[in-house]
Amino acid sequence: MIAPALVQAQSEVLRAVLKKIEETATPGLKPAVIFDLDDTLLSTSFRHVRILKEFAAHPETQQNYPREASALLLVEPDSTRYLITDTARAAGVHDEGLLSLLRDFWFARFFKNDYLTVDKPLLGAVAYCVEVLAAGGRIIYLTGRDDGMKEGTLLNLSRNGFPMPDGESIRLILKPRFDMPDLEYKRDVFENLLNQGGVSAGFDNEPAYVDLLADYFPRAAAVFVDSRHSGKVAEPRVGLPWIKNFLF
């Protein structure tokens, strides 16, 4: 996906957020920056590839689908798609029975703590979070992961050097239950945040949630992270800033 030509340059977007924090922060008020995790601060590509290669190396896959297994073992993080089955199709796997098995294999693992630990930061993500704090802001990690994924999430954040939740300047907010729709969950969180101090910016890879941020916090920068997304909404509304990563 290519960002509209008229939006701000990435460096301008990121620096403007930091400048706004510096201008609005006071000893009693730290403006918040809301960060989604999956494919916003953290790339899930490595998690996809680990699951894909475990599936390809499974004895039943090797025995029943040797050609397809060989193709899947060659998939690299940069070639993954949002859906694991689309990644497999791009690698030349089209057997619907095998794709169904892969989908089930993926679902049983993708949301597990052991697999969350392999996620890696988008370029510049860790340093940018540090800059937000240095500018006088606070961080809210707002993720669609549920409470059962807390252990793996915290371990991954720590391993990658992200600022760790302390309940004050840095918060981690998780869904109360796995089956709660993300849109409903984020809407509820935004409602609660309206009365908890200012929000300077929010970053998300899903266009629908970027639009929601803009609706709830019209004075904040609602920033679209153009990594990968579900495709449920093709693009954020016109005029909202885009970035590819957090390098500036």
Q: Which domains does the chain have, with CATH numbers?
A: 10-44+119-243 (3.40.50.1000), 45-116 (no CATH)
Tell whether the model's pLDDT for residue 108 goes beyond 90.
yes
Q: Quick one: average pLDDT of 43-68?
A: 98
List pLDDT tens digits, range 141-187. Answer: 999 999 999 999 999 999 999 999 998 899 999 999 999 999 999 99
Give the pairing of strands 138-146 and 120-121.
unpaired
CA–CA distances in Å: residue 108 to residues 68, 103, 121, 215: 21, 9, 23, 35
Would you state the pLDDT for residue 187?
96
Tell whether the model's pLDDT for residue 42 goes beyond 90.
yes
User: pLDDT-derived band of residue 197, with 50, 70 and 90 as boundaries?
Assistant: confident
List pLDDT tens digits, range 214-238. Answer: 999 999 999 999 999 998 877 898 9
Determine if residue 219 is left, alpha or beta; phi over 0 gives left, psi from -120 to 50 gives alpha, anything else beta: alpha
Percent of residues, the chain, with pLDDT higher than 90: 90
Tell whether the model's pLDDT for residue 7 goes beyond 60.
no
Tell whether the model's pLDDT for residue 13 goes beyond 70.
yes
**Helix ranges, the chain (H):** 10-24, 45-57, 59-64, 66-73, 84-90, 96-110, 113-116, 125-134, 150-160, 182-193, 207-216
Tell whether the model's pLDDT for residue 8 goes beyond 80.
no
Q: Quick one: average pLDDT of 201-222?
A: 97
138 and 113 Cβ atoms separated by less than 8 Å: no
Q: Quick one: average pLDDT of 127-151?
A: 98
Q: Quick one: average pLDDT of 125-141?
A: 98
User: pLDDT-derived band of residue 6, with 50, 70 and 90 as boundaries?
Assistant: very low
**Summary mean pLDDT of the chain:** 95
User: Angle at CA 49, nearest 5°, toward 234 and 147?
Assistant: 70
Handedness of CA 153, 157, 159, 163 (dihedral sign): negative
